[in-house]
Amino acid sequence: MAQKLMQIAMHRLEKEFYQILSANKEYLNPESVSSRSSHLTRSLSSNSDDEGDVGSDNEIRVAGDSISEVERLSALAMSDLKLIADSMISCGYGKECIKIYRIIRISIVDEALHRLGIKRWTSSQINRMNPEALEHNISKWIDSAKIAVRTLFRGERFLCDHVFSANETLREVMFF
């Protein structure tokens, strides 16, 4: 009976984790998270305690007067995701949590890479390009890759490190 209740609870947490990730794509996009990461770090760590009371009104007023509504919503979503991930991991459901996280975040990263002009090419497509077109594309890819590393991957790393802060192994697994 207890095992069945645990499964039901974990299934509910999986759904909630998925829903928060999906519903907050706008607030958790890697570029925005990256640009706010230092501010959010102060926000998320200023008043955190053992109860995980992140996102309280006291905490929203950080490093000055207050943070924007987008930053507040982002901080609240990140706090909720962390609490759910911590619960799932502590109950032995880390793999399920990672699976959901990856499904949602990979689509967001792919979309951001596409906006930067990076798309998937097959070797045959590249081989068919004339040298000038290839050189032009390589130049664009390098510029886009620099932006991706500076903002996109930095933001993803920040979000992942926060959500999975309770388990270093899972944090590292997310980037392999």
**What digits encode the pLDDT tens for the residues 110-121?**
998 998 888 888
Closest CA to 148 of 123, 111, 102, 173: 111
pTM attached to this predicted model? 0.75
Length of the chain measured in residues:
176
Domain interval for residue 163: 2-173
Please write the tens of the pLDDT for every residue from 31-75: 667 655 555 455 544 444 444 444 444 444 444 445 688 888 889
Q: Name the domain count of the chain.
A: 1
Rounded distance, CA 30 to CA 97, Å? Answer: 19
